[in-house]
Amino acid sequence: MKMKKLLFVGNPTILGENLGNVLKSNYNTDFISIRPKQIGNIRFSSYNALILDFTMLHKYSLTICKTAKKCCPNIIVLFLCPTNIPEQIILDFYEAGADDYLYSTLSSPALLLKKMDILFTNYHLATKYEDSHMTLNFDSLTAVIEGSATSFTPLEFKLLKLLSLSTNTVLTRQHLLYSLWDRKGNYVEETSLNSMICRIRQRIDTENHHYIKTIYGIGYMWIPLKYYG
């Protein structure tokens, strides 16, 4: 399989001195360690993913993200940011088109690598979730449960995709709320998230299996059917 190509824009030691070696051993990685004079000089079409160091680039990273997504909608964009970053800036990440973010002050090269692997393998490459109980097709927005067609709203499908393509991974409520927020400014409130989780559970759960596990005080985790005996 051809190695994915990744561009890192920022301080190549932000997660430690060995960050560069870790990324290069897993991806065909290029680094730009200084602020580009012209965004137009970056050939985004040559890359599968883009990592932006917000600590060094500040709001200029949002411009880079918007430009990359306009040119290449399927490019993965991940921001590295400090833990004390204002909530509005994180919202700006998603509005600019970001796929996810990672706190640089709490993370390591290994955690970054895991995050990238999840984004590559699950969210962008997979188009469906399927087990012996149900099939969820995220391209056609169709669902079949126990052989019968079942309807979900587009927003419910988006939530199902976020959860089911990150199996056995805790997704925080904050992450889900930000990810469900669309770029037209329609923000999903916590009460709406609670209602969606409840409606989805009523349609997908079986007597012996509950797909969405509540991690109290944190968020939710998708437990695939195959992991139950």
Residue-wise pLDDT tens digits, 141-164:
899 999 999 999 888 988 998 898
Q: What is the pLDDT of residue 125?
A: 56
Q: What is the pLDDT of residue 228?
A: 43
> Model pTM?
0.58
Q: What is the pLDDT of residue 186?
A: 56
Task: Walk across the sheet containing 134-137 and list its strands.
Answer: 128-130, 134-137, 142-145, 148-150
Q: Which residues in the chain come in under a pLDDT of 70?
A: 1-2, 36, 73, 122-126, 182-188, 226-229
Q: Is residue 3 classed as helix, strand or coil in its secondary structure?
A: coil
Q: What is the DSSP letter of 123?
A: I
Q: Name beta bridge partners: 53.
A: 80
CA distances from 42 to 35, 94, 226 (A): 11, 21, 43
Start-end of H helices in the chain: 19-26, 54-57, 60-71, 87-96, 109-118, 154-164, 173-180, 190-204
